[in-house]
Structure 1
Amino acid sequence: MTPNWPLAAALAAAPFAVVLQNRVMAPIALAGMVGCVVLGWLRGWRPSGVPALAWPAIALLAWMAASALWAPEAGRALDGAARLAISLALAVLAADALGREAPSPFVAKAAAIGLALGILAAGFDHLSGNLLRGTVRGLPAWDVTLSFGLKNAGAVLALLLPLGVFAPSLPAWPRVALGLIGGAVVLILPGDSARLAVLAGLGTGLAAQFAPRLTRRALAAGIAAMVLGLPWVLNALLPLDAGGLPPSAAHRLLIWDFVSGRIAERPLLGWGMEASRAIPGGIGHASAAVLAEFGLTAQSGWFSSAQLLPLHPHNLALQTWLELGAVGAALMALLLAMLALRAEGGAASGAYAAGLVIAMLSYGAWQYWWVAALLLAAVAVPRIRSASALPS
């Protein structure tokens, strides 16, 4: 048995499993990567050294750990940095072990089958009023958390969908069907971030089929500019009239406005790893004056219970700046730009774009299950061998 098998098993299991419970994403991804390392070792593989892509990540992890010196909760900061370091090391080792194996279409087939099962499960659960998830959880009646949980499933499906759609080892018609049906299902699921991500992922993956170098360079330049410049762009744009936006979207703008102000207070070093949970004023609520500036006075009742910073900024760039300052932002921009330049083919570019959209609109930057999903996709992409064009 080769290291391709545990990777294939993780890709086949993850999409369906996250429909039932998103927290299983981390153990599935980590178990798959551990399996790759163990089987590789048994077959004679030994680590070949630290790849160039890992060095900016190592520097970023070191800075995260160092920021515990000024973080409000040093223990939480060190724990977060350690978790990320272990996960990254495992992903690097798994990718290295897989790299010595011959490419196999089996991995792409497993990814496509897993996606198909996940898409069917998510679509059925949504259209049936969450019958599947309610039954699994033993709930006698519908609960709002059932529908909310599908947002996480939609995010994972959007992230992994390009791996099946742009896998050149698979026949064209199943890939087209997977893209059309999978995209449609994610679009009807709750969660605006996942909807935007699936469109970005499929669109970018398609662009990479026809202009691969331009697509990679555009992704690299775009993410570098976004990570380095977003706080200052928001400072210039906000406040703005958000009265016509859904309350959740308007709340996101209030969060980002608050975070931009806190970034300006400690722009070089940041507040420390995992400090988003303890930023002064974060558990407060927008004042009447702030709501008026954003055109939200009429919705003041909704915002009376909405915190200015609920756990994290829901934006990778802003959380990096807030917690790790300009030093962390520069390292993050370098890491993500290097990854973009290595995202060869539709599967890699598409998954990168989808993950980027979600990272900029949802979840904490270091949220463990989501980081595990990103690492699984990163390890799988080279095995999909997606550099060739989608057949017509």
Structure 2
Amino acid sequence: MPRLTPIALIAGLFAPLGVLAPKGMWLLFLVPALWQSVLAWRGGELGTAFRGPLAWLALAASAWALGSAGWALSPWPALAVAASLALGFAGLLILLAAARSLDETDKRMVERALVLGFAVAAGLLAVDLAAGGAGLRLAHGLLREDEPFRHTLFNRRITVLSLAAWPAMLVLWGRGKRLMALACPLLVLLLAFAGYSLSARLAAVAALAGFALALVLPRATRVLLAGGVAAFALLMPLLAQGPLKPERYETSLGGRAYSALHRLHIWRFSAERIAERPLAGWGMDASRRMPGGDQALPRGGNLMNLHPHNGSLQVWLELGGIGALLLAGLVGLAAFAGRMIDDRVGQAAALAAFVNGFAVLNLSYGIWQRWWLATLLLAAVLLATFATRRSAESGRDPVRL
């Protein structure tokens, strides 16, 4: 008989909570992680989660982040953020081990919960978009139109939904419901273009392009993607001061797309500060306190608004080249994880989900924001759950990388 497991709870609530209250995603990570930790401890299996290359990379990244508090601009806030990251990695490893140990009955419950949750969340978001965001304003007590707030919240909602689309597609495709499976990412694409987020549109298009390419050339796409994202993470400071420097785009982005131009200014400022401390960085959480970051730009906005709006640059800025190498290792490992899924469509869907997450990671949110970090970790758990299902017959382990 199916049981309510921590993974089933995540699967059922991931998309609906992301649409209704995205900042609560950290609770959806915390509660199942603690729940599963107790279950694993009682079963004498807690230590098995902390084995393999992924665990070692996560341990190294956590240790480096914690150590960076020693030279951070504000040591105690840096230590708190680093501790949160370390606990997040620990929770991820514990939940991945849980995904590996689910039996077929429990997995079927997880699948049903995920598909139902995605359908409900997509319907809610579509209806709210059609109503001009009335549901958003009502839910948050806004009696009048608040464009900046509405746009920001929509961005979070479509981001979470886009990450839920690919695991949902994996489930439906595995059940033989091919048209419904393909409809999941296409629906997200339509909702992204009906909304307000340029980064969500770019991420959705990039994910679909990655999916199509992986269908045709699965192995080459996997190798190219793993190497490409690792190289991007390492080379982003050079890109920000070269091909992406804002002066190149003053004419094309200086009008209605000024927010994109402003982001390029932030990226270059971040790269300049990285060059001052390239090896160890400025310490965790330094983006919020970066000297010179409060300088105003002529057309509006500051040189640094709390974070660089680029995960690769933020890791470089706060943890230096050593942190960037660890990030490159983690993202490269994540890109290769899709090889453990046996069918070509499943592999392509896993790569597309990775592209989607990596694109948003480098276009929008601060990488240490609790809700966003939790969203990424939860998406990884869901993908691993369904990768496990498809690789069970081959005897390969998709989780313990």
Same fold (TM over 0.5): yes
2 CA distance for matches of 1:341 and 1:118? 29
1:240 maps onto 2:241 in alignment: no
Per-residue displacement from partner, 1:57-83 (whole Å, max 9, x unpaired)? 211111111111111100111111100
Q: Confirm or deny: 8 A CA contact 2:33 2:91 kept in the other structure.
A: yes
Root-mean-square deviation (Å): 2.2
TM-score relative to the length of structure 1: 0.88
Mapped partners of 1:210, 1:37: distance in 2: 40
Q: Distance in 2 between matches of 1:78 and 1:100?
A: 33
| Alignment deviations for residues 291-324 of structure 1 (CA, whole Å, 9 cap, x no partner) | xxxxxxxxx4x42xx1100001001111111111
Residue 365 of structure 1: how far off its partner (Å): 1.5
Query: Structure 1 residue 313 and structure 2 residue 330: aligned?
Result: no
Give the equivalent residue in structure 2 for 1:156.
160
What corresponds to 1:295 in structure 2?
Answer: none
2:178 equivalent in structure 1: 172
Match of 1:294 in 2: none
Q: Give the deviation of 1:206 after TM superposition.
A: 4.0
> Structure 2-normalised TM-score?
0.86
Report 1:124-203 matches (<5 A): 124-144=127-147, 145-167=149-171, 168-170=173-175, 171-203=177-209
Could you tell me how far apart the structure 2 residues matched to 1:34 and 1:272 are?
28
User: What is the percent sequence identity of the aligned residues?
Assistant: 34
Check the 8 A contact 1:314/1:363 in 2, yes or no: yes
Q: CA contact under 8 A between 1:262 and 1:322: conserved in structure 2?
A: yes
Tell me which residue corresponds to 1:59: 60
The answer for the alignment partner of 1:292 in structure 2 is: none
Secondary structure in structure 1 of the residue aligned to 2:282: coil
Listed one character per residue, the Cα deviations across residues 126-179 of structure 1 (whole Å, up to 9, x for unaligned) are 221211122222332222213431110111112221111233323212212223
Give structure 2 stretches of 5+ with no counterpart: 340-346, 392-401
Contact conserved, 1:37 with 1:93, CA < 8 A, in 2? yes
Are 1:34 and 1:94, in contact at CA under 8 Å, matched by a contact in 2? Answer: no
Distance between the aligned counterparts of 1:387 and 1:203, measured in 2? Answer: 23
Quick check: 1:270–1:323 contact (8 Å CA) kept in 2?
Answer: yes
Query: What is the CA deviation profile of residues 189-242 of structure 1, one whole-angstrom value per residue up to 9, with x for unaligned ones?
Result: 221111111222233234334433222211210111101111112222323132
CA distance in 2, matches of 1:273, 1:46: 28
Does structure 2 retain, via aligned residues, the 8 Å contact 1:284–1:308? yes
Residue 44 of structure 1: how far off its partner (Å)? 6.7
Specify the alignment match of 1:270 in structure 2.
Answer: 281
Q: Cα deviation per residue 1:1-47 (whole Å; 9 max; x = unaligned)?
A: 77773322222222222222221111113223334444555667443
Alignment size in residue pairs: 372
CA positional deviation for 1:180: 2.4
Counterpart in the other structure of 1:296? none
| Gap runs ≥5 in structure 1 | 287-299
Deviates more, 1:160-169 or 1:351-360: 160-169
Secondary structure of 1:133 counterpart:
helix
Change (3 A) 1:52 1:125: same
Distance 1:46 1:268, change over 3 A: closer
Q: Which residue is equivalent to 1:122?
A: 125
- Residues 107 and 384 of structure 1 are in contact (CA less than 8 Å); yes or no, is this contact kept in structure 2? no
Structure 1 counterpart of 2:272, which letter?
A: G
Q: Is the 1:162–1:201 Cα contact (8 Å) retained in structure 2?
A: no
Report the AA paired with residue 259 of structure 2: S
Q: What CA distance in whole angstroms lies between the structure 2 residues aligned with 1:118 and 1:88?
A: 27
Q: Sort the Cα spacing of 1:189 and 1:277 in 2 relative to 1 into closer, same or farther, 3 A.
A: same
Pairing of 1:201-350 with structure 2 (within 5 A): 201-237=207-243, 238=245, 239-245=247-253, 246-286=257-297, 300=298, 302-303=299-300, 306-344=301-339, 345-350=347-352
